[in-house]
């Protein structure tokens, strides 16, 4: 890959690499948490389509290879009793996973099926739910909904343990239709009632004891006890129901089978995927395209994601940097870039706190609607937090990822002008597209240095410090804060 | 759980989840004192400011008497960050390894800080996450140096005496070793954690033999965290990744597999008596439910069945035939008894 001599191809935007590299860097930002320069180079070598296929099949990559080390060094992340511990555990996965799309899908489904620690007082139950998303997140949507309906955290979150044959509770049935599959306006109140009755008897073991513990946040005497799904036939309403025009003695699985055949479901899920993976601004044509694929494949999410990543609307330059990174993406992606936390470090709890301070308590979303994304991630306080946290992560030049960036910058030339330094730093970080304004700011920062020299013993250390300063400014840039 | 010569039976449970005072929070190891006294080292975590005080040593007795506590989290002298193991010398001095601060703290029998030693590095005597510590019969200290993949020996004052081992899976090599102990003759036993085996050495570090291969069948090991040897040559292994303790007879055969049988301690009973609605609902609950098939894994079973071991990080035996298992994710110590004959 060669520098394109800072040639602007769209008004106000400078491209530093060829189109294939730009396209792949975009893919790795969206389907994962951004690629290091080495990861981008590898993906370019194997090609865009092959990289998409690799991402779509996380099961072909090893699972988290430091899971045992995490649990050894963080005893609290072995029990996952506390929310902060569990947030740290997820960050480790984001930072170290060789299955980036698996983690990205888990974040997507977690945002859609938002289940919060705040009501459950059981962090591991929410973590277990995210494992369900890892297992099924690229599978059939029907399987995802079925697993979700049997997930103890969801059963507790939306009160299905209180949904009895003789006293239905409609909370889960309602949200299943409104927030999880079809969207409001595509069903009636009678459909909600029928769905709720169909899920009666889908509960957890020891519901009363677990409810008392949760209500008083009791982890005594010996910590949390994992909840187990239990189907209680004696509490299931077997009577006839009419749901979305179908009539029968439905149970929950049959309700799901009907839901996934609805065009509204295809459109709703397509819209959510588009918003999460493509742009904060909806495009009805593109969403329709994804919905068609959903219908054609009977809700196969892997197929829908393949269509998305191979689409013209995803490749279009207007889609690049069109999404604000969520705090988890920003913090996890920056740690990946810096190469930090590849072995367990106690400072993981600080990273988890950074994510919280930026407004995203993973495993504890604010409401059943999840987080408000896009520009709502940004306010004055959050922006300062985002910039400071990203800069701090890149400050330590001993970190392997930072070291790799410095080494690549050095390989671009022993003596570099401000313009060359900005170019080589961006290239080394896999940041191939920036605005003229961003590039000018980087050059302006380096201008007082006149030049940096890596070839002399008396200037080499200073030159490396200059690189570190430059990459800290780059992660503060608008482009880095976007995906 | 029987062999021709010994039976291992559950006795009772000591402990209760407590951030301070009478109870434990993520205990990771214990040392045994005189007359049934236990020094339980609480790792706590995560390392946020408000939780540092959870890191401490709780002193109690095997028959559930609470004596007190000392220590707290921090980086000052005598404070803990990632406290990993605790050992008590014959003169009453207590040693605590710390994997984050890369040092060994020395306390007197009352918990008063004496001094510490250690620095990070790969050189002789330096540490990269000192995991476990054992007092040899001659009073020297053996320390498993986790990420340096070796064993090092020191005087009780921290003077480096030598060591052995390097990264690898051959005899005498290690992969992130954890637990360590000595028998009465000074032979050294190491829980070679990421190699899924226990290795035995002479006091001089010559390889003698090993137990275990990777797996969860009888006799196999999954990330063994701790090893202990009793006076009759029985070897006890905290088979951490398999959520169990395996006891090997002197002939190497598996004498017992312990999965955990915890009952409520008297400290737990006190809590429940003060919370009668919780007590009543608990009495009506099934605390050993069938675990959902998609979570049918040792760890998940332990998370769902309260009486099972969950993260057994340390096993110790005393001269009275008692076996102490530190049940780190359940904040308690399960006590077993060995009955011979």
pLDDT in tens, B304-320: 999 999 999 999 999 99
The pLDDT of residue A280 is 85
Shortest distance between the Cα of A300 and any Cα of chain B, in A, equals 21
* Residue A478: strand, helix, or coil: helix
Q: Is A231 on the interface with B (CB under 8 A)?
A: no
* Residue A26: strand, helix, or coil: helix
Q: Where are the beta strands (DSSP E) in A75-117?
A: none
Average pLDDT over residues A302-318: 97
Q: With the C-alpha atoms ordered A368, A369, A372, A373, is the resulting torsion angle positive or negative?
A: positive
Tell me if B176 and A69 make a contact (CB, 8 A cut-off): yes
B 56-115 residues with CB below 8 A of A? 81-82, 99-100
Average pLDDT over residues B62-76: 98
Any idea where the domains of chain A sit in the sequence?
A: 74-319
Give the CA distances from residue A124 to residues A83, A90, B48, in Å, rounded to whole numbers and listed in that order.
8, 11, 19
Question: B33: Cβ–Cβ under 8 A, 6 or more apart, which residues?
Answer: B39, B59, B88, B92, B109
Q: What is the pLDDT of residues B148-197, one digit of tens each?
A: 999 999 999 999 999 999 999 999 999 999 999 999 999 999 999 999 99
Give the chain B residue whose CA is nearest to the CA of A71: B311
Q: What is the pLDDT of residues A360-393, one digit of tens each?
A: 999 999 999 999 999 999 988 899 999 999 999 9
Q: What is the pLDDT of residues B114-158, one digit of tens each?
A: 999 999 999 999 999 999 999 999 999 999 999 999 999 999 999
CA A213, A216, A218: angle at the middle one, nearest 5? 50
The pLDDT of residue B2 is 45
Shortest distance between the Cα of B51 and any Cα of chain A, in A, equals 11
* Residue B127: strand, helix, or coil: strand
ipTM for the predicted complex: 0.97
The pLDDT of residue A10 is 60
In whole angstroms, what is the distance from residue B252 CA to residue A80 CA? 35
Confidence of residue A7 (pLDDT cuts 50, 70, 90): very low
Tell me if A76 and B147 make a contact (CB, 8 A cut-off): no
Using CA atoms of B186, B192, B196, B201 in order, give the dihedral in degrees to the nearest 10.
-30
Tell me if B47 and A206 make a contact (CB, 8 A cut-off): no
Confidence of residue B296 (pLDDT cuts 50, 70, 90): low
Q: What is the pLDDT of residues A211-259, one digit of tens each?
A: 999 999 999 999 999 999 999 999 999 999 999 999 999 999 999 999 9
The answer to whether A22 and A15 have CB atoms below 8 angstroms apart is yes
The answer to whether B151 and B177 have CB atoms below 8 angstroms apart is yes
For chain B, the average pLDDT equals: 96
Q: What is the pLDDT of residues A323-364, one digit of tens each?
A: 999 999 999 999 999 999 999 999 999 999 999 999 999 999
């Amino acid at each position: 890959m060669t520098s394109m001599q800072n040639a602007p191809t769209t008004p106000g935007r400078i491209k530093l690499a060829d189109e294939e590299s730009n396209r792949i860097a975009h893919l790795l930002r969206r389907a994962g948490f951004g690629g290091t320069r080495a990861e981008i180079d590898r993906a370019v070598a194997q090609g865009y389509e092959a990289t998409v296929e690799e991402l779509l099949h996380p099961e072909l990559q090893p699972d988290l290879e430091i899971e045992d080390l995490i649990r050894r060094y963080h005893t609290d992340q072995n029990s996952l009793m506390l929310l902060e511990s569990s947030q740290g555990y997820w960050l480790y996965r984001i930072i170290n996973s060789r299955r980036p799309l698996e983690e990205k899908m888990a974040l997507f489904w977690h945002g859609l099926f938002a289940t919060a620690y705040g009501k459950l007082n059981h962090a591991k139950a929410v973590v277990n739910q995210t494992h369900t998303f890892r297992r099924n997140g690229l599978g059939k949507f029907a399987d995802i909904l079925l697993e979700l309906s049997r997930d103890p955290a969801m059963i507790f979150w939306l009160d299905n343990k209180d949904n009895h044959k003789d006293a239905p509770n409609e909370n889960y049935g309602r949200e299943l239709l409104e927030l999880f599959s079809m969207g409001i306006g595509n069903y009636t109140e009678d459909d909600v009632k029928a769905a709720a009755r169909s899920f009666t008897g889908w509960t957890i073991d020891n519901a009363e004891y677990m409810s008392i513990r949760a209500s008083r946040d009791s982890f005594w005497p010996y910590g949390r006890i994992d909840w187990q799904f239990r189907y209680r036939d004696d509490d299931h309403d077997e009577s006839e129901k009419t749901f979305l025009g179908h009539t029968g003695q439905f149970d929950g699985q049959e309700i799901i089978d009907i839901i996934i055949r609805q065009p509204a479901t295809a459109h709703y899920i397509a819209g959510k995927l588009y918003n999460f993976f493509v742009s904060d601004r909806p495009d009805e044509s593109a969403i329709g395209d994804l919905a068609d694929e959903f219908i054609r494949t009977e809700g196969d999410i892997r197929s829908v994601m393949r269509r998305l990543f191979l689409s013209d609307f995803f490749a279009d330059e207007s889609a690049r940097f069109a999404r604000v990174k969520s705090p988890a993406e920003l913090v996890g992606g920056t740690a990946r870039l810096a190469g930090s936390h590849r072995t367990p470090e106690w400072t993981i709890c600080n990273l988890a706190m950074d994510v919280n301070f930026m407004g995203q308590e993973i495993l504890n979303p604010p409401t059943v609607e999840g987080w408000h994304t896009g520009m709502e991630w940004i306010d004055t306080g959050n922006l300062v937090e985002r910039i400071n946290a990203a800069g701090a992560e890149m400050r330590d030049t001993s970190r392997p990822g930072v070291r790799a960036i410095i080494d690549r910058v050095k390989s671009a030339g022993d003596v570099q002008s401000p313009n060359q330094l900005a170019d080589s730093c961006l290239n080394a970080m896999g940041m191939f597209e920036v605005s003229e304004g961003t590039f000018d700011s980087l050059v302006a920062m380096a201008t007082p240095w006149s030049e940096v020299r890596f070839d002399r013993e008396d200037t080499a250390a200073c030159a490396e410090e200059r690189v570190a300063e430059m990459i800290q400014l780059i992660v503060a840039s608008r482009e880095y804060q976007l995906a | 759980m029987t062999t021709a010569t010994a039976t291992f039976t559950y006795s009772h449970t000591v402990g209760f989840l407590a951030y301070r005072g009478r109870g434990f929070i993520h205990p990771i190891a214990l040392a045994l004192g005189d007359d049934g006294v236990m020094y339980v080292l609480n790792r706590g975590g995560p390392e946020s400011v408000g939780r540092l005080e959870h890191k401490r040593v709780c002193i109690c007795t095997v028959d559930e008497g609470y004596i007190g506590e000392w220590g707290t989290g921090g980086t000052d002298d005598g404070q803990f960050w990632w406290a990993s193991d605790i050992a008590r010398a014959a003169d009453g001095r207590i040693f605590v390894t710390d994997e984050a601060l890369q040092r060994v703290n020395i306390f007197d029998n009352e918990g008063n800080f004496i001094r510490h030693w250690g620095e990070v590095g790969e050189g002789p005597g330096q540490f990269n996450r000192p995991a476990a510590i054992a007092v040899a019969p001659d009073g020297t200290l053996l320390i498993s140096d986790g990420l340096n993949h070796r064993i090092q020996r020191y005087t009780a004052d921290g003077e480096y005496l030598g060591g052995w081992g390097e990264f690898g899976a051959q005899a005498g090599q290690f992969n992130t070793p954890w637990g360590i102990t000595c028998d009465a003759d000074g032979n050294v036993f190491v829980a070679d954690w990421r190699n899924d085996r226990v290795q035995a050495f002479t006091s001089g570090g010559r390889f003698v033999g090993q137990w275990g291969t990777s797996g969860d069948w009888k006799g196999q090991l999954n990330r063994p965290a701790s090893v202990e040897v009793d006076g009759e040559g029985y070897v006890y292994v905290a088979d951490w990744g398999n959520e169990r303790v395996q006891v090997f007879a002197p002939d190497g055969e598996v004498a017992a597999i312990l999965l955990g049988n915890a009952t409520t301690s008297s400290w737990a009973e006190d809590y429940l008596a003060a919370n009668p609605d919780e007590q009543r609902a608990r009495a009506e609950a099934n605390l050993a439910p069938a675990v959902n098939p998609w979570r049918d894994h040792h760890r998940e079973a332990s998370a769902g069945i309260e009486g099972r071991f969950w993260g057994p990080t340390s096993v110790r035996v005393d001269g009275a035939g008692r076996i102490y298992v530190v049940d780190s994710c359940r904040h308690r110590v399960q006590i077993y008894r060995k009955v011979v004959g």
